[in-house]
């Protein structure tokens, strides 16, 4: 037990805190708002503070005062809208809420917006918790997180933690520190991305409609247990990404909605304040205190819990005032752009990179909004990366077609390269693509069981060799046959999947090759790293390209790779392909290998390019292209210029 001398001293909100908060520029507002346990004037207890500018009165109710709203009344601090008070004898672990009297005299009970722990839903109270040690004092952040900023491999395993192994319950964070970490390391992913972990009332929302922006969901354990999971991932060399939802929030009565009886966190006008698709409330980004709230939330998850990157959900719905609406309110210039939301996103993207080496932001943005990953200093939104939704939809649509029809859709494979380097893209096959009747990745594929598995292997190999970082939702790595459900255990589904181990081995090998082959990642966001070698043979469903390493990697001995794909069930024997370099090319991956469940056709490990022009190249080779598969060839000699401008 800690002695009184070891307890932290509670500090009241300073005038500077309140000034920054009111300006929308406070990034650590959790330090003076919410519940804080410690010493005040030598007395042990808890300080409670909340922002409720339109309230007529505010009290804190909880286990420490018999839930009596008359016992612990808070006082307003000037004109800041913040109410604060100290409850002697209140302790860590006790439940509480704020009792707020609205302007019309009604009393409502609200959970603490800045609470760092909550009861397990459907219970709704906040819980007093101790102060967590900042991550920079734990020294567990991944040392090489500069991979986000430079040309390094990034392959992300997207996880819904609650359905990874269903029986965990409130031990999920602790168990995941063993089982999940082991699986991610075994598969070779560099990062894990968690679907939202902020507390949410309805489990079926997967966290996308939150009621708390500081408290991790208590369904799966405590704040300290989540910090332990993040630390375990870092110690294993895995970066950790949080899926975060600053665009909208749940309208449950105990949450942020109408917090002080008025539209405080959200817009009053339903044309601005209620999302037409999800029925959730939309944050009012014009309100300074709301921006301070959200900036502080993002900083808390990085600075205190230890996340390395934040992926912002549904950015498109934040950028446009008319998103999914027939009736909408134009901006001050008469346009459809949400200028306040864009301002917030720029502030967020300017803040996050300052929080640690390699911390990053990612946008799930589904429109053609320009310059999403361009720096704010150059007029962009400032995200580090953007999900390439167009690539995802085109690719999955192509692979869902019978091979005999793919020749008419060859452009779905080539079109993406017209814009592949316009943003810093991540290629996602995400949870959204394997739910709500869309079917699993396996069930999307045509053909019998063998052909479906072959198509999954080919699709994954196409993804891993295509320019752009990678993200794959759990279950796709072993070709889960049933559609994903949050109520079914992933590991149970793995046991039920016939021959899924071959696909899983493909993912392991692709991750290994990806991480050790600079040509496949070092110029992901530059046309200098890419050149077509076969684009026009749509009738054969054959396509191919070269990937080049950066100059620095080439000087260190990195080789060029050629990627050749045959998306037809017909093998192509002695297929002639032009290549930029002569000599031996080593076959480092063959999706049709028997170890993966394929038919075993291939090139016996090598091909040789000779001085015989084909297409734009002075050299060519005869290659065996197995059915429904991708082959990766690495040039084994020192790459020398062939007299052509090789790159795009």
Specify whether the CB–CB gap between 267 and 188 falls below 8 A.
no
Neighbours of 25 (CB within 10 A): 14
Q: Give the pLDDT of residue 570.
A: 97
Please give the average per-residue pLDDT across 170-192, as a whole number. Answer: 95
Q: Are 161 and 233 in contact (CB under 8 A)?
A: no
- Nearest CA to 318 out of 352, 351, 294 is that of 294
Q: Is the confidence at residue 149, as pLDDT, over 70?
A: no
Mean pLDDT of 242-268: 97
Confidence of residue 644 (pLDDT cuts 50, 70, 90): very low
Mean pLDDT of 554-563: 92
Predicted pLDDT at 3? 67
pLDDT at 643: 47
Angle at 581 between CA 580 and CA 585, to 5 degrees: 115
Using the predicted structure, report yes or no on whether residue 395 has a pLDDT greater than 70: yes
Exposed/middle/buried for residue 276 (C-beta within 10 Å: 0-12, 13-18, 19+): middle
Residue 8 DSSP class: P
Tokens read off for 252 = 């449950």
Structure tokens of 123? 């219970």
Spatial separation of the C-alpha atoms in residues 403 and 542, rounded to whole Å: 11
Q: Say if strands 572-579 and 542-547 run parallel, antiparallel, or are unpaired.
A: unpaired
Q: Which fold has domain 520-635?
A: Immunoglobulin-like (2.60.40)
Q: Is the pLDDT of residue 484 over 70?
A: yes
581-to-213, 399, 546, 555, 638 alpha-carbon distances in Å: 54, 31, 11, 17, 9
Residue 326, SS3? Answer: coil
Total count of residues recorded for the chain: 648
Q: Are 130 and 223 in contact (CB under 8 A)?
A: no
Q: Is 109 within 8 Å of 61 (Cβ atoms)?
A: yes
Query: Which residues 6+ apart lie within 8 Å of 374 measured at CB?
Result: 380, 381, 382
- The whole-angstrom separation of Cα 459 and Cα 457 is 6
Determine the pLDDT at residue 167.
Answer: 72
pLDDT of residue 142: 58
- d(CA 538, CA 567) in angstroms, rounded, equals 10
Residue with tokens 């996340």: 307
146 confidence band (pLDDT: 50, 70, 90): very low
Alpha carbon separation from 176 to 196, 225, 507, 564 (Å, rounded): 16, 10, 21, 38
CA 117 to CA 129: how far, in whole Å?
7
Lowest mean pLDDT among 86-90, 317-321, 617-621, 639-643: 639-643
Indicate if the pLDDT at residue 411 is higher than 70.
yes
DSSP label at residue 614: B
Whether 4-127 and 154-246+287-313+343-517 share one fold: the answer is no
DSSP E strands, 17-118 = 34-40, 43-51, 57-62, 75-76, 82-88, 95-101, 107-110
Give the model's confidence band at 648: pLDDT under 50 very low, under 70 low, under 90 confident, else very high. very low
% of the chain exceeding 70 in pLDDT: 95
User: Confidence class of residue 139 from pLDDT cuts 50, 70 and 90?
Assistant: low
Among residues 283, 388, 389, the alpha carbon closest in space to that of 343 is found at 283
What is the Cα–Cα distance from 365 to 428, expressed in whole angstroms? 12
Topology of domain 4-127, per CATH? Immunoglobulin-like (2.60.40)
Query: Cis omega (within 30 of 0) on the bond before 56?
Result: no
Residue 638 pLDDT: 66
The encoded tokens of residue 507 equal 């993912």
Report the DSSP beta bridge partners of residue 57.
101
Around Cβ 600, how many Cβ atoms within 10 Å? 11
DSSP per residue, 329-396: ---TTS-SB-HHHHHHHHHHHHHGGGGSTT-EEEE---S--TTTTS-GGGTS---SEEE-HHHHHHHH
Q: How far apart are CA 290 and CA 551, in angstroms?
A: 46
* Residue 174 pLDDT > 80: yes
Q: Which residues carry out catalysis? A: 313, 364
Region 473-501: mean pLDDT is 87
For the CA atoms of 599, 603, 604, 609, the dihedral, rounded to the nearest 10 degrees, stands at -170
Q: Using the 8-state DSSP alphabet, how is residue 400 labeled?
A: T
Residue 500's pLDDT is 80
Average pLDDT, the chain: 93
Domain definitions of the chain by residue range: 4-127, 154-246+287-313+343-517, 520-635
**Tokens found for residue 166:** 């269903």
Instruction: Give me 136's structure tokens.
Output: 């920079």
Average pLDDT over residues 467-472: 97
3-state helix, strand, coil in the chain (%, to 5): 30, 25, 45
| 154-246+287-313+343-517, CATH topology level | TIM Barrel (3.20.20)
Q: Are strands 561-566 and 155-159 parallel, antiparallel or unpaired?
A: unpaired
The pLDDT, as a whole number, for residue 102 is: 97
Give residue 129's Cα distance to chain centre. 27
Q: Is the CB of residue 161 less than 8 Å from the CB of residue 168? A: no
C-alpha 355/C-alpha 299 separation (Å) is 8
> Among the residues of 177-287, which ranges form H helices?
179-187, 223-235, 270-273
Residue 1 in this model has a pLDDT that exceeds 90: no
Locate tokens 């019998």: which residue?
A: 448
pLDDT at 59: 98
Residue 436 neighbours by CB under 8 Å, 6+ apart = none
DSSP single-letter state for residue 71: T
Reported confidence tier of residue 168, pLDDT bands at 50, 70, 90: confident
pLDDT at 150: 58
């Amino acid at each position: 037990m800690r002695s009184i001398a070891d307890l932290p001293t509670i500090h009241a909100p300073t005038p500077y805190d309140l000034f920054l908060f009111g300006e929308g520029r406070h990034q650590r507002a959790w330090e003076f708002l919410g519940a804080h346990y410690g010493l005040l004037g030598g007395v042990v207890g808890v300080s409670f503070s909340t922002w409720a500018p339109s309230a007529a009165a505010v009290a804190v109710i909880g286990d420490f005062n018999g839930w009596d709203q008359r016992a612990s009344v808070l006082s307003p601090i000037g004109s800041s809208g913040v109410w604060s008070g100290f409850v002697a004898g209140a302790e860590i672990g006790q439940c509480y809420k704020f009792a707020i009297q609205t302007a019309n005299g009604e009393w409502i009970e609200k959970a603490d917006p800045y609470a760092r722990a909550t009861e397990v839903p459907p219970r709704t109270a906040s819980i007093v918790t101790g102060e967590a040690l900042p991550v920079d004092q734990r020294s567990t952040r991944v040392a090489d997180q500069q991979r986000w900023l430079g040309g390094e491999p990034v392959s992300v395993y997207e996880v819904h933690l609650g359905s990874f192994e269903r029986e965990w319950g409130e031990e999920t964070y602790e168990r995941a520190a063993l089982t999940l970490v082991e699986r991610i390391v075994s598969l070779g992913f560099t990062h894990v991305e968690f679907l939202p972990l902020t507390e949410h009332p309805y489990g079926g929302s997967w966290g996308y409609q939150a009621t708390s922006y500081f408290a991790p969901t208590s369904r799966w354990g405590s704040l300290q247990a989540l910090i332990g999971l993040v630390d375990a991932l870092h110690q294993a060399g895995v970066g950790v990404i949080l899926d975060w939802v600053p665009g909208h929030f749940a309208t449950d009565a105990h949450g942020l909605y109408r917090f002080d009886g008025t539209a405080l966190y959200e817009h009053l006008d339903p044309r601005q304040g209620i999302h037409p698709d999800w029925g959730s409330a939309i944050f009012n980004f014009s309100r300074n205190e709301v921006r301070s709230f959200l900036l502080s939330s993002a900083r808390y998850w990085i600075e205190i819990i230890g996340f390395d990157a934040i992926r912002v959900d549904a950015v498109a719905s934040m950028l446009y005032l008319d998103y999914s609406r027939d009736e909408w309110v134009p901006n001050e210039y008469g346009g459809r752009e949400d200028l306040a939301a864009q301002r917030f996103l720029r502030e967020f993207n300017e803040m996050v990179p300052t929080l640690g080496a390699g911390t990053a932001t990612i946008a799930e943005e589904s429109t053609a909004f320009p310059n999403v990953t361009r720096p704010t200093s150059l007029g962009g939104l400032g995200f580090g990366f953007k999900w390439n939704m167009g690539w995802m939809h085109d690719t999955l649509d192509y692979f869902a077609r019978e091979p005999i029809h793919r020749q008419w859709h060859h452009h779905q494979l080539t079109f993406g390269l017209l814009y592949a380097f316009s943003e810093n893209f991540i290629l996602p096959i995400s949870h959204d693509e394997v739910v709500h009747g869309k079917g699993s990745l396996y069930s999307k594929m045509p053909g019998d069981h063998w052909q479906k598995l072959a198509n999954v292997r080919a699709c994954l190999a196409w993804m891993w060799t295509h320019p752009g970082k990678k993200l794959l939702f759990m279950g796709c790595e072993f070709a889960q046959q049933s559609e994903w459900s949050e109520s079914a255990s992933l590991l149970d589904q793995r046991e039920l999947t016939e021959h899924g181990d071959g696909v899983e081995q493909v993912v392991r090998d692709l991750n290994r090759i990806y991480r050790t082959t600079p040509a496949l990642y070092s110029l992901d966001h530059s046309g200098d790293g890419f050149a077509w070698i076969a684009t026009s043979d749509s009738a054969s469903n054959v396509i191919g390209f070269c990937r080049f390493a950066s100059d620095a990697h080439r000087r260190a001995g990195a080789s060029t790779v050629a990627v050749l794909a045959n998306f037809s069930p017909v093998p192509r024997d002695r297929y002639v392909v032009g290549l930029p370099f002569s000599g031996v090319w080593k076959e480092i991956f063959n999706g049709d290998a028997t170890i993966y469940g394929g038919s075993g056709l291939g090139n016996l490990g090598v091909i040789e390019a000779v001085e015989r022009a084909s297409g734009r190249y002075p050299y060519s080779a005869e290659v065996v292209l197995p059915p429904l598969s991708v082959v990766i060839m690495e040039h084994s000699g020192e790459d020398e210029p062939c007299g052509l401008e090789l790159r795009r």
